[in-house]
Amino acid sequence: MLPHYHLLGEGGGRNRELLLSKASCRRMYDVSHNEQAHLYTQTQECLWIDKWEDTYAKTQLVEAFFMQSSGFLTGIAVTTEGGECKLIGSIDEEEPLRFEAVIPVEDWICGMVLHIPAIEFVGTTRGDVGETSPKGITIICKSGREIDLGETDRGHSMRAILARPGHQVVGLTAKMAADIPVTTFNCLGLITLLNEDLHDSRILPDSIIRRRHPLIDEVMWKDNGTRFFGTPYWNNPNIRIVSTSGYDLGVVGDDEQAELTPHLLPYEALIWAKDTTELRQLKRVSIFTTYSRGLYTDANTGTVRTESYKICGLGAEFVDEHNGGQRLIGVRGKVEEGKLEDNILLAGPPVSSTSPDTKMGEKKGHGDFRIDLDIDGPGGEIITEVLIGCYGDESVAGFRVRTNRDREAGCHLNSDVGESELMSIKARPNKTLVGVVATFPHGCGGSKDEGLRTYKELTSLEGISMRLGAEEETAEKSSEEDYDYNED
C-alpha cells in the first residue's frame, strides 16, 4: 500500500507558513511534448520541508515514479525523517515504476537535471514528431553528491534546473493535465527562498553549484560537456556563451518551430579547442549545406516551386596526433530514404570558398556541399570570429568563420543577406573562442506539409569562449567578467 502524500499548504505550522509566504518559483520550463501537454492544465506546488532545520538535521528519502508503459516521469516525492511523504505529480497505484535514494544528514538539494529524450525530426513528417517527457532525474546535492533516479545513462538530452546564488531550494512546482489520474509533467520549476528570508538560520554551504553565466541553464543540452571540460556546461564557471547583439539563447523565430516548444530543442556544442593543446591541433572547420526543392502553397499565389540551400551541420577536424577524431553537430547532408539511422558518409563534395561573398544559390546541382576552411593550428592560427545572418523570421541565411590571419570562409544562403546584415560573435577580452552551440531542428524533404524530413537545419547559434592562457588572448580586462543574478 502506498503511503499518504500531500501537497503544499496542508499542515506544517508556523515554520511552514513562513516558507509559504516567502518562497517563489523564478522560472518554469516545458519538459514534455505529447497529447496531454495540449490539454487543460492544473498547477501543483509542493514544499518538501515543514521547517528549515529539516534540510540539515534529518535524513530525506527521495522517490521518483515513472509510467511502466512509456517510462515517463509522473511523480517526485520527498519524505523527511519522521515526517509524511510530500508528493508532486501522480502515481500509477497498480504498477508504479519507483526509484528511491536517501539524502543523509548534513546534505540537501540544490538542483536537479532532467533527462529528456530528444525528438528526432529526421524521418518524420510535419505534424508527426512523436512525444517526449523526462525519463530520469539526477538530484544534485550541496555536498556534490548526485542521485540518479530512472534513465540517466541512456544518452538523453539534459535540462539542468539549479538554485540561483543566494537562493535555497524548498520545493517544486509543476503543470500537468487536469482530471487525468496518472499524467506526465508539462512544466517544472524549483521553489526557492532567498537567503535573507532565513535570517540567522544555518545554511549548508554549496560545494557544487559553480556556474556564473546567468543563462547557462536556460536551455536543454544534447550532452553535458564533461568529455571536454570534466564538468557539465551548466556548472562550468570558466565558459561563457557569446551572443550577437539582438540574439539570445533561443531559437530564431520560425513559424515551423511551433510544432515543438524551444525548451525541448537540444543545443549541440561543437568544441574545437577544449584546451591549448587542442587549439594547436585544429586543422579544418567545415560548413555542411544541403539543397532543398519543394512546393509551397500560398493562399494568394497558389502553389509555387521553392529552391534553397540550408546549413545542416558544422564540423571540425584535427591533425593526426589528435586522438579524439573529427567532431560534428547537425548532419553532413540529406539522409537517403531507407538510411535514416546513419548519414555519416553523406559528406558531399567540398566547395573551395575563401570569399565572403560566396552565395550557395550560384552553385549548380541539387545535392550536398561542404565549405572548408583549412586552419594552421600548429602554426598559431586560431578562430577569432564567427559571423551569422538571418533573413526576416527565417532560419540562418549567412554564416562565416574568420581567423587571426584575416582568412575566412563561409556562405550566403539568401542573396538578400549582405555584408552589413551579418552579426559578429567574438570571444570576450582575455578569452578564446573555443566553439559554438547551436540548434538543428527539422528540414523538410518535400513541400512544407508533405514528405519525410531528410535533413536538419541550423536555426540559432552562439559562441563559447573561455580563458585558455594562449598567447593570442588579449590582456584587456573584461567589464563582463562577473554577472549579477537579479531575479526577474
Give yes or no for residue 356 having a pLDDT over 90: no
Among 95-99, 189-193, 293-297, where is mean pLDDT lowest? 293-297
Quote the percentage of the chain above a pLDDT of 70.
74
Of 288 and 217, the one with more pLDDT: 288
Q: How many residues does the chain have?
A: 488
Region for residue 180 given its phi and psi (left: phi exceeds 0; alpha: psi -120 to 50; beta: otherwise):
beta
Map grid coordinates 523526462 to a residue: 134
State which H helix or E strand residue 481 sits in: none
pTM of the entire predicted model: 0.85
pLDDT at 7 over 60: no
From residue 482, alpha-carbon distances to 89, 255, 267, 271, 428 in Å are: 38, 36, 24, 23, 12
The distance of Cα 283 from the centroid of its chain, to the nearest Å, equals 28
Contact by Cβ (8 Å): 423, 210: no
Q: Please write down the HEC assignment for all residues of 332-343.
A: CCCCCCCCCCCC
Strands 460-466 and 432-439 turn out to be: antiparallel
Span between the terminal Cα atoms of the chain, in Å? 43
pLDDT band at 438 (very low <50, low <70, confident <90, very high): very high
Task: Decide: helix, strand or coil at residue 332.
Answer: coil
Nine cell digits for residue 475: 590582456
Range with the poorest average pLDDT among 199-208, 300-309, 475-484: 475-484
- Residue 242, pLDDT > 80, answer yes
Q: What is the pLDDT of residues 16-41, one digit of tens each?
A: 676 777 888 988 999 998 877 667 78
Q: What pLDDT score does 225 carry?
A: 94
Question: CA–CA separation, 346 vs 350, rounded Å?
Answer: 12
DSSP at 414: S
Q: Please identify which residue in the block is written with the cell numbers 513559424.
A: 255
- CA–CA separation, 475 vs 183, rounded Å? 54
Only one residue has cell 543545443, namely 267
> How do the domains of the chain map onto residue ranges?
5-209, 233-466
DSSP for 179-204, please give it.
T-SS--EEEEEEEEEEGGGGTT---P
CA–CA gap between residue 296 and residue 80 (Å, rounded): 59
> In this structure, which topology does domain 5-209 adopt according to CATH?
Vitelline Membrane Outer Layer Protein I, subunit A (2.100.10)
**Which string of DSSP letters, residue by residue, matches 206-229?**
PSS-----TTTTSSEESS-SHHHH
Q: pLDDT digit string (tens) for 52-82? A: 999 999 999 999 999 999 999 999 999 999 9
Among 429, 354, 373, 384, smallest CA distance to 273 is for: 384
AA identity, residue 311: I
Residue of higher predicted confidence among 351 and 290 = 290
Contact call for residues 170 and 146 (beta carbons, < 8 A):
no
* Residue 389 grid coordinates: 545572418
Q: Which of 355, 318, 360, 354 is nearest to 458 (CA)?
A: 360
Please check whether residue 356 is in contact with residue 419, taking contact to mean a CB–CB distance below 8 angstroms: yes
Residue 408 near residue 354, CB atoms below 8 Å: yes
Q: What is the DSSP letter of 125?
A: B
Residue 258 predicted with pLDDT over 60 = no
- 107-116, 295-304, 403-412: which has the minimum mean pLDDT? 295-304
The CATH label, of 3.40.50.2300, 2.100.10.30, 2.30.140.10, 3.90.550.10, for the domain at 233-466 is: 2.100.10.30
pLDDT at 220 over 60: yes
Q: Do domains 5-209 and 233-466 have the same CATH topology?
A: yes
pLDDT band at 213 (very low <50, low <70, confident <90, very high): low
Residue 97's pLDDT is 94
Among the ranges given (100-104, 406-410, 484-488), the one the predictor scored with the smallest mean pLDDT: 484-488
Give the chain's mean pLDDT: 80
Q: CA–CA separation, 149 vs 358, rounded Å?
A: 50
- Banded model confidence at residue 3, pLDDT cuts 50, 70, 90: very low
Write down the pLDDT at residue 160.
94
Residue-wise pLDDT for 76-92, tens only, equals 999 999 999 999 999 98
Strand order in the sheet with 97-103: 5-6, 85-89, 73-80, 60-66, 97-103
Over residues 132-178, the pLDDT tens digits come to 999 999 999 999 999 999 999 999 999 999 988 889 999 999 999 98
CA angle 264, 237, 282 (to 5 degrees): 80
